[in-house]
Amino acid sequence: MPLDFALIAHQESWRAAADVLAVLRGPGRAPIPDDDLKDIFPWFPPRAVCHIDHRSVLGHSVHGIYIDSFIPPDRLGHEYRAENISRVRDAAACAIKAGARIVSLGGFSSILIEGDSDLLPEKGETVFTTGNTLTVAFIVQGVKKMCALQGRDMGDATLLIVGATGDVGSGCVRCLAPLVNRVVLNARNIDRLRSLAEELSASGTAVDIATDLQQLSVQADIVICVASLESPSLLLGRLGPNAIVCDAGYPKNLSPVDVLEGCTVFFGGLGQSLGGMSFEPDVHRVLHRHPFPNVGQGCVMEGMVLALERRFEPFSQGRGFITPERVQEIETIAGRHGIHLAPLYNAQGPLEEVTCETEGLADERQIAGAGRAV
């Protein structure tokens, strides 16, 4: 069967990493002790973990594979950059060898490559997308939906973007700046911050910038966290009463010890397929740890969306190319195939009542087709 797409990603926790290894080792094997797991895991080369079929509500489907780069969850820091780029290159080589027509770079993979195609191996007919445009679409939709659910007027709000100069952060800023009263940009690089602030100011947006969250002088009513962090360690600064906080980082950005009293936190950048996805081996509980079926990160879903549309092109490429027009385009394509914003939730559970359509996605859609070997 032709391979329409491939997804490249990595696990954000050691628990998830252990589950992936358990799939590869097969049933009936004793779990690997935690200490041994951390010693063994870095020696695993990138490889395909499962096959995926993704169905459109229009009636057709596409076939692909998930490739794990086996980046250890505790090795996301800058000191491991060269090692991790090598892992992404090897994972990309797997996708190319398998004949994938389009490849989504999920999680840190897109951050490491940053649109520099020279870091990827000779691609042949395979094209790569970071998937960041669909991620932005789902973040923006989620913020708008949460504001609507709470009866909040975005026109009076101050918006804070943590990680504002990254590809996803800058895309969110460009989409939401016209809808809010004021924008606060936070990132590590002051030169990039100033450049983005000048771009927004030229269009009439009131902008503040800060490299230190704890020194913010402006309270934020809406916060989007999309910083490239090694672990959930972000401590937010000044927040307005009843602020809305979207954590769309991978790994998650917010520190579990940061108590945001009175605020509503939700996980952003996630979409849901009404057509359904199936896996062989059946690893959907390993790869999709969400309270709803057929949910995934926008970055990995973008490749599937483009494959369903038969648009095998590098839709998202590197930092700074995401515009409201491109976001609208990928939203329209995704919606045509039944891929929409996932129901909103956080670590405590759902934040909205889900429709019968969402609740009733058939279990058989998650049952893998028989006979495919990885």
For residue range 15-41, list pLDDT tens digits in order: 889 988 888 888 888 889 988 999 999
Q: Is the pLDDT of residue 92 over 70?
A: yes
- In terms of DSSP bridges, do strands 295-297 and 270-273 run parallel, antiparallel, or are they unpaired? antiparallel
Residue 225 and residue 367: Cα distance in Å, rounded? 34
Q: Is the pLDDT of residue 98 over 70?
A: yes
Q: Which residue has the tokens 């771009």?
A: 199
What is the per-residue pLDDT for 283? 77
Residue ranges of domains in the chain, CATH in brackets? 5-132+271-344+351-366 (no CATH), 134-267 (3.40.50.720)
5 touches 303 (CB < 8 A): yes
**Alpha carbon 67 to chain centroid distance?**
16
287-325 pLDDT per residue, tens:
777 889 999 999 999 999 999 999 999 999 878 889 999
Q: How confident is the model at residue 358 (pLDDT cuts 50, 70, 90)?
A: low
Q: How confident is the model at residue 132 (pLDDT cuts 50, 70, 90)?
A: very high
- Please work out, in degrees rounded to the nearest 5, the angle formed at the alpha carbon of residue 322 by the alpha carbons of 6 and 293: 45
Q: How many helices (H) and strands (E) does the chain have?
A: 11, 17
Q: Which residue has the tokens 């395979």?
A: 126
202-219 pLDDT per residue, tens:
999 999 999 988 878 788
Here the tokens at position 3 are 């391979």
Q: Is the pLDDT of residue 333 over 70?
A: yes
Contacts of 346 (CB under 8 A, 6+ apart): 247, 265, 266, 267
Residue 155 and residue 42: Cα distance in Å, rounded? 48
